[in-house]
Amino acid sequence: EPEVTQTPSHQVTQMGQEVILRCVPISNHLYFYWYRQILGQKVEFLVSFYNNEISEKSEIFDDQFSVERPDGSNFTLKIRSTKLEDSAMYFCASVQGGEKLFFGSGTQLSVL
């Protein structure tokens, strides 16, 4: 079965540094999402992306965050200046146009 792939699986960074989390959604999917889960807490929506633009974003997704689909296959999440509270598991997801999201296995981001 096709799957969403995320790299790296673990990312350690210093506070204030920029990080880019990478995702390759399923090839014929049209909608792309980033979610995050802070340890022990719920899965939180960050942003949705459709037709090369952000269609919805949460209050978490402030000016420090940006997303990009630089080519036909990659979907990236950039955090410009990381904070300690950005430490979380970040999940990329995609959907063709129905309801069932396909998630990647996540990138564990640790900000020191």
Kindly list the residues in this chain that would bind other proteins in the complex (CB under 8 A): 4, 31, 33, 35, 41-45, 48, 55-56, 58-59, 91, 93, 97, 99-106
The minimum distance between CB 63 and other proteins, in angstroms, equals: 19
> Cis peptide leading into 8, omega within 30 of 0?
yes
Which 8-state DSSP code applies to residue 2?
A: -
d(CA 72, CA 99) in angstroms, rounded, equals 22
User: 33 vs 75, which CB is nearer to other proteins?
Assistant: 33
Q: How many helices (H) and strands (E) does the chain have?
A: 0, 11
User: 15 vs 54, which CB is nearer to other proteins?
Assistant: 54
The minimum distance between CB 58 and other proteins, in angstroms, equals: 7
What distance separates the 2 farthest-apart alpha carbons in the chain? 39
The minimum distance between CB 95 and other proteins, in angstroms, equals: 8
Nearest partner of 98 among 13, 20, 10, 26, judged by Cα: 26
User: 44 vs 66, which CB is nearer to other proteins?
Assistant: 44
The minimum distance between CB 85 and other proteins, in angstroms, equals: 16
